[in-house]
Amino acid sequence: MSGPRSDVVITDFISNPNLEREILRDVADVRVLNATREDELAGRIETADAIIPYHYIVISAPTLNRLRNCKVIARGGVGFDNVDVARARELGIPVCNVPDYGTEDVADSAVGMAVSMIRGVAFLNSRLRASRGPWSPSQAAPLQRIRGSVFAIIGLGRIGTAAALRAKALGMDVCFYDPYKPDGYAKALGIRRVESLEETLGQAFTLSVHCPLTDETRHMIDAEAVALMPEGSYLVNTARGAIVDTSAIPDAVASGRLAGAGIDVFEWEQLKEDDPLVVAWRDPGHPAHHRVLLTPHSAFYSEQSLMDLRASTAETCRRALLGQPLRNIVNLPATTGP
Ligand code: NAD
């Protein structure tokens, strides 16, 4: 390629852009900003031809307004709530996400959490390490067989579907609630469609949340919703924190309504020591201590998924800089290339 080289800026999260440089080697120079706040972008981002933001940074309208050459924002992730995509659209800047890098990894994490709770692995390991109870399966009683138990999915998108296939392979009775999915998927996957959230909750031995965070789904799973679940059921959330009101979990576990909960995502995303769930989970005297699994928004993570994510963002920039058609534009109908 002749002419001046383009300028690609990675705003945050990635500090060694070796992979991105390799993919863009004949097209652009790659700069990393290692920013953690939006104001740290000032004076460093305005000339960028393409921007790759991860999840530590917000890109709001004032920042977008200062961009002079930007041809694409390639968001390093699925969710794009940290970019003002509507303003980007007004400015003619396409925003693309990476919808598929962690589909399998998140589904594996969700089903893995469920299985380790249902089989008593997490509970027995936690209790016995703390020298609590007899060295026997009896203290985990009553455990239920996985095969035939209801695995209920909220949101049958990419990850929900991958979770459905895994749960099916375990012999679970898989059902889903997703009002936005056209008919056909239940038959294609050999699973059951449930018409209402209440009906879904009422039969969910395991409830696995896989919908996006929207006004409609915010706190969709609260104390009232959990109360509709069967006694001794399990809740798993690897989607977005605010979909579940986690303050309902300690009491639900203490009462036996929930036999366990696996939570990977939180309304806050740095550990909040005074969060009621964290307090109960840390307290060796609280039943949640042995029955709740917390992970730090790591459900997506494997070395392979991270490489897929980084490669996809760089490929998106490459396509935009070469004027080729873009995929995964989340703010259509913006510029879509030639
Ligand atoms: P997707 O867009 O493919 O699927 C989401 C599904 O939810 C769609 O089928 C949609 O119709 C459905 N949905 C929307 N509103 C709903 C509602 N009110 N009730 C029920 N269903 C509803 O998304 P995906 O790639 O499968 O991602 C699913 C979730 O996982 C998202 O919240 C995403 O942010 C999250 N995620 C988490 C991690 C992690 O590391 N924990 C990583 C990637 C994605």
pLDDT tens, residue by residue, 147-184: 999 999 999 999 999 999 999 999 999 999 999 999 99
Looking at every residue in the chain, the average pLDDT score rounds to 96
The pLDDT value given to residue 308 = 97
In the residue annotation, 290 being an active-site residue is answered as: no
pLDDT score for 2 = 56
Predicted confidence band of residue 56 (pLDDT cuts 50, 70, 90): confident
Residue 22: exposure state from Cβ atoms within 10 A (0-12, 13-18, ≥19) = exposed
Give the integer Cα–Cα distance in Å for 117 and 133: 17
* Nearest ligand 1 atom, CA 159: 26
What was the pLDDT predicted at 94? 98
Tell which residue, 124, 183, 131, 173, has the closest CA to residue 153: 173
What confidence tier does 57 reach under pLDDT thresholds 50, 70, 90?
very high
User: Quick check: helix, strand or coil at residue 153?
Assistant: strand
Report the separation in Å between the CA atom of 159 and the middle of ligand 1, taken as the mean of its atom positions. 7
pLDDT reported for residue 81? 83
What would the mean pLDDT of 85-94 be, rounded to a whole number? Answer: 97
Joined tokens for residue 74: 């390639």
- Sign of torsion over alpha carbons 38, 42, 44, 50: positive
Active-site residue, 55 included: no
Q: In what order do the strands lie in the sheet with 233-237?
A: 192-193, 173-177, 150-154, 206-209, 233-237, 258-263, 292-294
Span from the CA of 212 to the centroid of ligand 1 (angstroms): 4
Catalytic site residue from 192, 286, 297, 327: 297
Which pLDDT does position 3 carry in this prediction?
67
Q: Is residue 59 over pLDDT 60? A: yes
Which residue is associated with the tokens 């879509």? 336
Catalytic one among 240, 289, 290, 291?
A: 240
Atom of ligand 1 lying closest to residue 180 CA: 11
Which atom of ligand 1 is nearest to 77's Cα?
Answer: 43
Query: pTM of this prediction?
Result: 0.91
Question: Quick one: pLDDT band at residue 1, thresholds 50, 70, 90?
Answer: very low
Catalytic annotation present for 132: no
Q: What value does the mean pLDDT take over residues 214-228?
A: 97
pLDDT at 335 over 70: no
Ligand 1 centroid–CA 246 distance in Å is 18
